[in-house]
Amino acid sequence: MATYNKRGYKAPKEKAEKDSAYLEDVKVDEKDSTTAGVFNSLDQTASKTEEWVARNQKYILGVLAAIALVTVSYLLYQKFIVQPREDEAATEIFAAQQNFQKAVDATTSSDSLFNLCLKGSKEGLGFVEIADKYSGTDAGNLAHYYAGICYLNTGKYAEAISSLESFKSDDMILSVLAVGAIGDAYAEKNQTGQALEQYIKASEMNKNDLTTPRFLLKAGQIALQMGKKADALKYFTEIKEKYESTSEGATIDALIGLAQ
């Protein structure tokens, strides 16, 4: 018997139907899904965090309140106690600084002026009292430096060393000058070893054309005095090679001749 295809007739796709039926029967178990497991883990973690926060809510609020209180207290302390004290100290030191400048500029004996700077007068406090009364302020710290220089100029070398060692500063020049002045005090006490140590330290701090050759020169002179010609030559030569255009460099050739 002859066979034919009717127009529009399509043979059934048995394989496709079977595949579809198979897919319909397959269910993805949530336990086998990595993504689902991750979300479950996150949900559990979030739930535990919420429970912990709920249990410790009073403690957390207490800690936050304490932090806020400390912050506010610090800001108030800075505004109403620290800053007014800084301003008061700066006002007090002004008169002493003026007297100090007069002492430095004096053409005759200035011991009385330096002592006035140290002890103060009816016009204002001296550096010693300012350093003590306003300890912890910028002016109080600076008063240690001024007091040290005043002591140095009035022959009180131990006091000078003590005051200068109490001075701390990030200022490139003052910090070096303080160390060098300690060297001067030791030199006046004939403690040449300590003096040389301070001069070397000062010469190596914040190298510049103002203080470096100054303290290299002093280091060389002390070294010569101690009979350390090789060391003296080294310091003098550094001035010659690096700072010849400075006032110290102008006469360095003669000192190099002494050290050779």
When comparing pLDDT for 9 and 99, which is higher?
99
Per-residue pLDDT, 106: 86
- pLDDT of 53 reads 73
Question: What pLDDT score does 202 carry?
Answer: 98
- Is residue 178 a contact partner of residue 147, using CB atoms and an 8 Å limit? no
Confidence at residue 49, expressed as pLDDT on a 0 to 100 scale: 76
Q: Looking at residue 83, what is its pLDDT?
A: 79
Evaluate if residue 18 carries a pLDDT over 90: no
What number is the average pLDDT over the span 118-137? 93
- The predicted model gives 186-208 an average pLDDT of 97
Using the predicted structure, report yes or no on whether residue 210 has a pLDDT greater than 90: yes
Which position has the higher pLDDT, 237 or 95? 237
* Separation CA 231–CA 222 (nearest Å): 10
Q: What pLDDT digit, counting tens, does each position of 49-93 carry?
A: 777 777 788 777 778 777 776 776 656 545 545 677 889 888 999
Tokens 């004096």 locate to 106
Residue 110 near residue 116 (C-beta atoms within 8 A): no
Question: Tokens in use for 106?
Answer: 């004096």
Averaged confidence pLDDT in the chain: 84
Structure tokens at 105: 């500029």
* Segments of the chain assigned E as strands: 120-121, 124-125
Once rounded to an integer, what is the mean pLDDT over residues 243-248?
Answer: 96
- Please give the average per-residue pLDDT across 131-160, as a whole number: 96
Would you say residue 140 has pLDDT above 60? yes
pLDDT mean over 123-139: 94
**Is pLDDT above 90 for 19?**
no
How many other CB atoms are found less than 10 A from the CB of residue 205? 19
Report yes or no: 180 and 202 within 8 Å, Cβ to Cβ: yes
Q: Which residue has the higher pLDDT, 70 or 176?
A: 176
- Please determine, for residue 238, whether its predicted confidence score (pLDDT) is greater than 70: yes
Longest pairwise C-alpha distance within the chain? 147
The H-or-E segment that residue 3 falls in is none
The mean pLDDT value for 225-248 works out to: 97
Q: Is the pLDDT of residue 153 over 50?
A: yes
Question: pLDDT tens digit string along 81-125?
Answer: 567 788 988 899 998 999 999 999 987 778 899 999 999 988 889
pLDDT in tens, 181-196: 999 999 999 999 999 9
* CB-based contacts of 184, cutoff 8 Å, min separation 6: 152, 195, 218
Predicted local confidence at residue 12, as pLDDT = 52
The residues near 32 (Cβ < 8 Å, ≥ 6 apart) are: none
